[in-house]
């Protein structure tokens, strides 16, 4: 499992911060402490479990009673939502039926065998269910006469309405207490659970008898005033109702309560991390010094946007606070983050400190270097560029000047955190596109100075609920406004038949002295094929645009070659740049006004948005053409439509998350996003915000949960969140 580093570090910090609970003495002996003890006891000794099943449960992550109670149903069967077979038509909507098994049969076919079951719910009304996989096992678990609940999409197969691979649950033998309730819980299964007979039915049985016999031992694990303020269902009730809801309304309340709890404990962890950080002393930097003043009044060629001013004042008060700053500056491409970083850098330099800017690639570092030195050199400040490829003699000189303090400002890649780099008095670090660095790399920046202030920058907007989870322990400044004078980018999806007129438009731009990007997708598994696409696209364009300089850049090129090609484009020596997606976030060629994205339907929405950010950076109107296939999925049509409709990165990130679901939104293993059991960051934003507020104010009010009313919560947090990581499985 790629449990993320970010997560591990957060957890380590939180663990380290926990108060020492030696004897857990002040807890209400009879109720609360017992309850924890009870929750921790192994499931093996429960009625209906035993050694074989407990092994299968272990595989599913269920070790103790708390795990079992948190093994939440995947779905519910509400008797009111059962369809009768008579009503079923072939449709794309899944339906649930309940019926009795009439016939079963394993039927050999070309590839092996299939298992067919015919189910009837009233005389003569039948449906066929077919399994092509797992035949052996399913054949063993379904017999004539069984009553089954089946859930699937009806289709037509062999002249009969049928389900292929429906989900199924046996309903008989459950006894009145469990199955006649109107809403029946269905549990997530796995091969080994099912092999040891742990069907939904047996989960219901085991949990039912557990709650019946020992439910009294469950007690409230949230502070009572939080339960009150947020009108949450009581913990004990919720833990019963999530498994055995008496009504839809009760189920809804139980879900809300348990989602709240889950999000609350996660936010507790972030709140603790943050409050620990808040104790870290930082270099007090007052600001308002001579360099900063001159920069703002004489050098800066424009007035700051109000978004920039806000960010500056938020950062400014962090610097004054005497505590170390840890702030994330989020702003869409082109929102003007560089100027903000430069102004802060001057505050630090005014106060006698050194500044480092770290970017993830050489291209980006060079670009920062160029824009920062053109902003700062008029003030007599030398900015140095330090890359892995910097010649040894030059490198040595930079390192010496950093150590002596002669050099105040360095920009670079990882090279700036290498062993040999010693700062004289590092006060301010900027990490650009911070999500591309690991936490450890950031940490090694810390070590280069005496708790230098940290500004993390990102041009990758993410939805608020994700930001509160991923960066929930940081302070965040957001710049939504763009500098004035920007022309909007006109975005249009077209089909192959429009290609000729697209090329004609491109030619017009080139004749007007502008430059164009042509982008091809790069999908990992067919890298060669895509590369071929880009290479032949390059050849074609050279043929079509006679006398125009057309370049090609792709990931297989050596980085020195890439840099040369990029440099030609940046300096205007080439007019068309054909590329795979290697054009980096933040590459800034103001003269580029046209982008043609080939196979646009293959790109993710956020990726398209990032690409489009390469144009529309100057004062000329820009065009982005999305060339798409005639045949498209609904989702890809929605993506391209969103691109046509908006340029707002935050809005785009929300749409993207909705289209893909939270899990795939990042698609990266290092995202550090916890996978919650019940809560969904997409749909539960409101609960998230409430839970966060509750957690943060609790930590502020009672940092180590010393107050009596918070002790049971703390004990629970200790045992089930910090030690077990909430049993959150990490995405990736």
Q: What is the largest CA-CA distance in the chain?
A: 92
Q: Residues 4, 330, 338, 653: which binds ligand ADP (CB under 6 A)?
A: 338
Distance of closest approach, residue 304 Cβ to ligand ADP, in angstroms? 5
Torsion of CA 102, 105, 109, 113, to 10 degrees: 120
Q: Residues 54, 70, 305, 413: which binds ligand ADP (CB under 6 A)?
A: 305
Token reading at 415: 């090279």
Does 614 contact ligand ADP by CB under 6 A?
A: no
Does 544 contact ligand ADP by CB under 6 A?
A: no
Q: How many helices (H) and strands (E) would you count in the chain?
A: 27, 24
Number of residues that bind ligand ADP (CB under 6 A): 16
Does 130 contact ligand ADP by CB under 6 A?
A: no
Does 333 contact ligand ADP by CB under 6 A?
A: yes
x/- contact string, 577-606, with Mg ion (CB under 5 A)? Answer: ---------x--------------------
Residue 361 binds which of Mg ion, ligand ADP, none (CB < 5-8 A, kind-dependent)? none
Q: Residues 4, 35, 162, 308: which binds ligand ADP (CB under 6 A)?
A: 308
Distance of closest approach, residue 338 Cβ to ligand ADP, in angstroms? 3
Does 703 contact ligand ADP by CB under 6 A?
A: no
Cβ proximity to ligand ADP: between 70 and 343 the closer is: 343
CA-closest candidate to residue 168, choices 189, 182, 197: 189
Residue 335 binds which of Mg ion, ligand ADP, none (CB < 5-8 A, kind-dependent)? ligand ADP
Residue 537 binds which of ligand ADP, Mg ion, none (CB < 5-8 A, kind-dependent)? none
What's the half-sphere exposure (Cβ side, CA atoms, 13 Å) at 474?
Answer: 23
Instruction: Detail the DSSP E strand segments found in 165-208.
Output: 167-170, 183-186
Cβ proximity to ligand ADP: between 214 and 370 the closer is: 370
Q: How far apart are CA 333 and CA 455, in angstroms?
A: 17
Does 460 contact ligand ADP by CB under 6 A?
A: no
Cβ proximity to ligand ADP: between 230 and 436 the closer is: 436
CA 286 centroid distance within chain: 36
Phi, psi of 670 (to 5 degrees): -95, 15
Does 616 contact Mg ion by CB under 5 A?
A: no
Q: Which 3-state string (H, E, C) describes 442-491? A: HHHHHCCCCCCEEEEEECCCCCHHHHHHHCCCCEEEEECCCCCCCCCEEE
The answer to whether 284 and 322 have CB atoms below 8 angstroms apart is yes
Stretch that binds ligand ADP, among 83-91, 94-102, 337-345, 413-421 (CB under 6 A): 337-345
Does 619 contact ligand ADP by CB under 6 A?
A: no
The CA angle 178-179-182, to the nearest 5 degrees, is 110
Distance of closest approach, residue 374 Cβ to ligand ADP, in angstroms? 9
Q: How far apart are CA 631 and CA 496, in angstroms?
A: 11
Distance of closest approach, residue 113 Cβ to ligand ADP, in angstroms? 59
Q: Residues 99, 152, 245, 336: which binds ligand ADP (CB under 6 A)?
A: 336
Of residues 319 through 338, those in contact with Mg ion by CB under 5 A are 338
The answer to whether 441 and 294 have CB atoms below 8 angstroms apart is no
Q: How far apart are CA 338 and CA 342, in angstroms?
A: 6
Does 363 contact ligand ADP by CB under 6 A?
A: no
Torsion of CA 11, 12, 17, 20, to 10 degrees: 100
The CA angle 253-256-261, to the nearest 5 degrees, is 125
Q: Residues 58, 278, 304, 507: which binds ligand ADP (CB under 6 A)?
A: 304
Token reading at 492: 């249009």
Phi, psi of 435 (to 5 degrees): -65, -10
What's the half-sphere exposure (Cβ side, CA atoms, 13 Å) at 203?
Answer: 29
Does 378 contact ligand ADP by CB under 6 A?
A: no
Contacting residues for 361 by C-beta, under 8 A, at least 6 apart: 413, 584
Residue 261 binds which of Mg ion, ligand ADP, none (CB < 5-8 A, kind-dependent)? none
Residue 333 binds which of ligand ADP, Mg ion, none (CB < 5-8 A, kind-dependent)? ligand ADP
Cβ proximity to Mg ion: between 272 and 435 the closer is: 435
Stretch that binds ligand ADP, among 264-272, 335-343, 462-470, 559-567 (CB under 6 A): 335-343
Residue 189 binds which of ligand ADP, Mg ion, none (CB < 5-8 A, kind-dependent)? none
Q: How far apart are CA 154 and CA 125, in angstroms?
A: 14
Cβ proximity to ligand ADP: between 270 and 333 the closer is: 333
Residues binding ligand ADP (CB under 6 A):
302, 304-305, 308, 331, 333-339, 459, 483, 586, 588
Residues binding Mg ion (CB under 5 A):
338, 586
């Amino acid at each position: 499992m790629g449990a993320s580093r970010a997560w591990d570090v957060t957890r380590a910090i939180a663990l380290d911060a926990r108060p020492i609970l030696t004897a857990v003495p002040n807890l209400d002996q009879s109720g609360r402490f017992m309850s924890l003890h009870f929750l921790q006891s192994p499931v093996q000794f429960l009625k209906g479990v035993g050694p074989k099943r407990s092994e299968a449960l272990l595989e599913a992550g269920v070790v103790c009673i708390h795990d079992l109670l948190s093994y939440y149903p995947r779905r519910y069967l509400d008797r009111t939502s059962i369809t009768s077979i008579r009503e079923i038509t072939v449709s794309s909507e899944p339906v649930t039926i309940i019926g009795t098994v009439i016939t079963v049969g394993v039927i050999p076919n070309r590839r092996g065998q299939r298992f067919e079951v015919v189910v009837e719910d009233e005389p003569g009304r039948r449906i066929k269910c077919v399994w092509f996989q797992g035949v052996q096992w399913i054949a063993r678990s379904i017999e004539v006469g069984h009553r089954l609940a089946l859930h699937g999409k009806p289709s037509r197969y062999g002249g009969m309405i049928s389900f292929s691979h429906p989900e199924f649950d046996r309903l008989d033998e459950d006894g009145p207490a469990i199955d006649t309730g109107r809403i029946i819980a269905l549990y997530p299964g796995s091969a080994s659970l099912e092999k040891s007979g742990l069907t939904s039915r047996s989960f219901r049985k085991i949990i039912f008898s557990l709650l019946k016999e020992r439910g009294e031992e469950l007690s409230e694990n949230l502070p009572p005033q939080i339960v009150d303020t947020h009108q949450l269902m009581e913990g004990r009730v919720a833990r019963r109702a999530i498994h055995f809801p008496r009504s839809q309304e009760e189920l809804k309340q139980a879900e809300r309560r348990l989602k709240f709890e889950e999000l609350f404990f996660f936010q507790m962890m972030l709140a603790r991390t943050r409050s620990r950080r808040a104790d870290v002393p930082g270099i007090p930097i007052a600001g308002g010094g001579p360099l900063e003043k001159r920069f703002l009044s004489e050098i800066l060629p424009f007035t700051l946007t109000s978004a920039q001013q806000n960010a500056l004042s938020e950062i400014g008060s962090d610097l004054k606070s005497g505590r170390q700053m840890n702030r994330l500056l989020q702003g869409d491409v082109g929102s003007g983050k560089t100027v903000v970083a430069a102004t802060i850098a001057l505050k630090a330099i005014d106060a006698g400190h050194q500044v480092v800017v770290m970017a993830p690639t050489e291209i980006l570092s060079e670009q920062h270097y160029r824009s920062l030195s053109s902003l700062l050199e008029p003030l007599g400040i030398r900015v140095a560029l330090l890359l892995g490829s910097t010649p040894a003699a030059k490198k040595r000189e930079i390192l010496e000047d950093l150590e002596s303090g002669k050099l105040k400002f360095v920009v670079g890649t990882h090279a700036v955190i290498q062993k040999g780099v010693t700062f004289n008095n590092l006060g301010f670090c900027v990490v650009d596109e911070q999500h591309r660095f690991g936490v450890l790399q950031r940490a090694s920046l810390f070590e280069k100075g005496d708790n230098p202030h940290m500004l993390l920058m990102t041009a990758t907007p993410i939805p608020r609920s994700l930001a509160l989870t991923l960066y929930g322990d940081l302070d965040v400044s957001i710049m939504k406004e763009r500098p004035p004078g920007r022309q909007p980018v006109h975005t249009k999806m077209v089909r192959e038949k429009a290609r000729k007129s697209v090329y004609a438009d491109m030619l017009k731009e080139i004749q007007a002295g502008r430059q164009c990007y042509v982008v091809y997708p790069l999908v990992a598994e067919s890298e060669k094929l895509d590369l071929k696409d880009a290479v032949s696209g390059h050849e074609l364009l050279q043929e079509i645009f006679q006398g125009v300089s057309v370049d090609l850049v792709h990931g297989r090129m050596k980085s020195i070659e890439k840099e040369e090609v990029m440099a030609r484009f940046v300096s205007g020596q080439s007019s068309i740049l054909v590329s795979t997606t290697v054009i980096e976030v933040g590459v800034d060629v103001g003269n580029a006004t046209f982008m043609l994205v080939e196979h646009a339907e293959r790109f993710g929405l956020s990726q398209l948005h990032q690409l489009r950010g390469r144009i529309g950076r100057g004062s000329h109107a820009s065009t982005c053409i999305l060339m798409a296939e005639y045949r498209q999925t609904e989702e890809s049509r929605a993506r391209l439509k969103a691109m046509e409709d908006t340029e707002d990165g935050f809005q785009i990130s929300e749409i993207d998350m909705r289209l893909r679901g939270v899990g795939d939104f990042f698609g990266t293993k290092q995202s550090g996003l916890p996978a919650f059991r019940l809560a969904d960051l997409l749909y539960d934003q409101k609960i998230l915000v409430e839970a966060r507020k509750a957690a943060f104010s609790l930590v502020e009010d009672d940092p180590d949960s010393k107050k009596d009313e918070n002790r049971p919560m703390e004990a629970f947090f200790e045992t089930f969140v910090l030690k077990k990581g909430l049993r959150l499985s990490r995405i990736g």
